[in-house]
Structures are given as structure tokens and as C-alpha cells.
Structure 1
Amino acid sequence: MDEAEVAIVVGAGGALGRAVAVGLAGKGFSVVAVDRNKSGLEQVPTGIHREVADPTDPDAAAAVVERIVAQYGPPGVLVNTIGAFGLDDLSGATPDSLTRMMAVNVGAALWLSQAVVPHMRERGSGSIVHVAARNGLDASPGTLTYSLSKAALVHLVRILDNELRSSGIRVNAVAPQLIDSPFARASFPPEVWHHAVAPEAIADVIVALALDDTAPVSGAILPTYGN
């Protein structure tokens, strides 16, 4: 791998995105960390570039990718870790909750993929990794709009794989059940914490998917459920 190959990590202000950015930098990538939260990016280690943008806005997603291409070069890797979570059921689902879940969990993945693919096609190769969820594969009560959005993301990954594989672009996803984070510890009862997986462990899987070593793998949704 060219040591100057560019990797874009979106959601790098969070624990998982930050771990992915560090992991890719350790593999020799020139990493650009993107997040809509500027204060979150301040925790990204020195040596990793930073860009503030909200990828749920298609114009903002396109603009940040073009800035990155102009400053650092075309991306060989895109990792999208951003996501929104909410609890609701049939009686509690609202238009606002569905709109938010779809915009963050599916829309951002679509707009970011759309923005990087022309550059990857020009290179003749690329790797895109999104973060799905077990809820997108297995039905579970109490997370209706969240689960719908993650199921849509799973299907988007499979569609993109069909569309892009012939161009040398691989599209995959990891599907955690519960990421061990301050948010999870504050939001879920202790009896489910044993399912939580450290962000660094999930990041290792994502980094592996980004590397040429996993070139035969595309269209995969890899479970990272933990225990």
C-alpha cells in the first residue's frame, strides 16, 4: 500500500470513529477525520487531519470530500461510523423520529458514498465500510425507527456492492450489537453490558476490511456482537 493513500473516517469525534482513525493511521494511511462536532475532533491524535462537516446534508458531504481531495488527494478508503439511536415502538414512532433515523443512519451513508465513488472509480479501486447494527439484521422490539433505518443501511451496502464491485470498489459493513461507550453505559441497564464490545475491537475489524488483504470480501455484513 502507498503510505500516502488517503482514508476518510466520518464520525471520528466519537469513540469508534476515533479508534478507526488511529488504527488506519497505524497502517500507514493519511487519515482525514470528519465530524460535525468540532469539540469531538479535538480528541483525535496529532498527525490525523481534521474536517468539520455534517454528512447528513448531501451538499455538505460532497463539499467536504472535494476539500479533502484538493488538500490530500483522492480517497482510497471511506469509513462511516456516524449513527443515531432511539427507543420507540409502533405507538410511539413519529415522523420526526423516522426522519432523523433515516437521515443519520442511511442518508449520510448514501451521500458520502456518492461523493467518494467518482474518485475511487478514477483510481480503479477503493474500500467503503459503514457501521450497521444487529437490529438491522434481527428484529427486536422497542427500536422501531432505529431498526428500520439500520435495515435500510444493510440493504444499501448490498446494493452498492452490486453496483460498484465491477469498478474495483468494495463495500462492506460491520454490525455491532452494543458498543461499550459512556452513552451505552448511561442508556442501558447493567444486565446488558456484558454484550458491549470495546470500540477498539470493532475498529480492528473495520481496519481489516479497509486493507487490501480482504480484497475478496465485498457486500458482507460482519457481526461484531460480542458475548
Structure 2
Amino acid sequence: MSERVAVVVGAGGGLGLATAVVLADAGFSVTAVDRTEKALEQLPDGISREVGDATDPAVARSVLDRIATESGPPEVLVNTLGAFRPGDVLAATPDDLRVMLDVNLGAALWLSQAVAPYMRRRGGGAIVHVSARPASEPTAGMAAYSLGKAALNHLVRILDLELRPHGIRVNAVAPQLLDTAKNRAVLPPEALAHAVAPEAIANVIAFLAGDLAADISGAIVPAYGA
């Protein structure tokens, strides 16, 4: 249990997969988490897998407890979970808002609560959440999504204030659009002209999680692409 342990949640998605690989290449012992075993099938050998839905606070805690017991207390937590529903503010429904808050805000809160005690006991750690450009810049047609991600940004700043005294750094990276197979299947080529490869964002996440970013906490790092 002397290894540097990193946990990547949402590792079944394009960004989560890329992040797990980058952190493993950087020397971390990585455990990848997603809701189903099938979502984790593309991960390379050498990366551990855990199944659980982090939007449930009890599940988030039990998954982190298992990882800490089996691999050691996490030094790094990366949360790449996210959900998107388009729609303008006048058309937003209670279900739209609930889902956007549960996934884009709730999971970040529950995971941070679950990992913080382990990081405090080990003397420090780094948490990186994934936000989005509409969280900081109002964007028409994304009302519920923007609100969920904006709340995540504020959570990052609150976590920074409360956890930094314990040696725990909390940051977020904010892409605009990722060049993933899922997005290529639903978006026209012109919409993807400025999309960023998941590997590029994963490298930003790895920087924020690593020793070179030891003095950075409470930051929302834009990664919008060209």
C-alpha cells in the first residue's frame, strides 16, 4: 500500500478513460469507477475497476471505502462524471433540473465527502472535478445544464476553502466540447471544428493532480480549444 493511489470516476467515458491511462502512465495505481462493468471494458490491463453509481451518496462512500481498503488511501480523486440536457430556461422541467444537479453537482459533493477523510489522514491529496464553459459564461439553450455546472464551480471554491488547511487541493478543468465518439455521432462536423481531444484535457487534469500544481487550489481552468 505504498503506491500512489488515484481514483477516476466516470472512467467509462472518453475523458475518464483517457485520464485513467494518463495517470497510470504517470506512475499512479489507478482504480477506475463507472456505473456498469461494460462501461469499463475498454480500460487497459493494469487499471483496477470498481462498479458504482456515484450520484448515490451511500454508493460513493462504499466504493471509496473499498478502494482505500484494497489499494490504500487515495492521493488523487478525479471526477469526470457529467450529464447534458439541452433546453432553454422557459422549457426547463423539474426532471431536467433534478438530473443536472444530481449528476453534475451531487456526485462531486458525495465523492468529495467520501475521499476527504482518507486524504486528511494521509496528510494531503488532490481532487479534480470536470466543469464546462457554460458554467462560467451564460449560454442560451443550456439552462439546467449551465446551472448544474455553475453550482459545481461554486462547490470547488467552497471545498478549496474548507480542505486546503488539511493539505487537500481542489480544482476543476472546464472544457467546451470534447472530440469523442459519442459527440461525433450526434453533432455535425462544423460543431466539432474546435472540439478538444480527451487526451489533451486528461493531461491538464494530470497536471492539476500532480506535484507541479502543488500551489494551485480553487482554480477553474478553462480548456476551450482553439
TM-score between both structures, scaled by the size of structure 1: 0.97
Aligned to 1:124: 123
Alignment of structure 1 residues 88-127 onto 2, 5 Å: 88-127=87-126
Deviations 1:65-109 (A, max 9, x none): 000011111000000001000101122200011000000000000
Match of 1:32, SS state, is: strand
CA distance, structure 2, for counterparts of residue 201 and residue 90 of structure 1: 32
Q: Which amino acid aligns with 1:212?
A: D
CA distance, structure 2, for counterparts of residue 3 and residue 45 of structure 1: 22
CA distance, structure 2, for counterparts of residue 46 and residue 27 of structure 1: 15
CA distance, structure 1, for counterparts of residue 11 and residue 104 of structure 2: 15
Matched, 1:221 2:223: no
Match of 1:223, SS state, is: strand
CA distance, structure 2, for counterparts of residue 23 and residue 186 of structure 1: 25
| Aligned residues between the structures | 226
How far is the alpha carbon of 1:3 from its aligned partner?
A: 6.9
Match of 2:11, SS state, is: coil
CA distance, structure 1, for counterparts of residue 148 and residue 49 of structure 2: 28
Q: Which amino acid aligns with 1:182?
A: A
Q: Which amino acid aligns with 1:40?
A: A
CA distance, structure 2, for counterparts of residue 65 and residue 99 of structure 1: 24
Matched, 1:153 2:158: no
Deviations 1:26-48 (A, max 9, x none): 11111000000211101110000
Give percent identity, aligned residues only: 62
Matched, 1:142 2:136: no
Q: In the alignment, is the contact (CA less than 8 A) between 1:7 and 1:24 conserved in 2? A: yes
Q: Which amino acid aligns with 1:191?
A: E
TM-score between both structures, scaled by the size of structure 2: 0.98
Q: Which amino acid aligns with 1:5?
A: R
CA distance, structure 2, for counterparts of residue 194 and residue 219 of structure 1: 30
Q: In the alignment, is the contact (CA less than 8 A) between 2:19 and 2:203 conserved in 1? A: yes
CA distance, structure 2, for counterparts of residue 187 and residue 166 of structure 1: 44
Q: Give 4+ residue runs of structure 1 displaced > 4 Å after superposition.
A: none
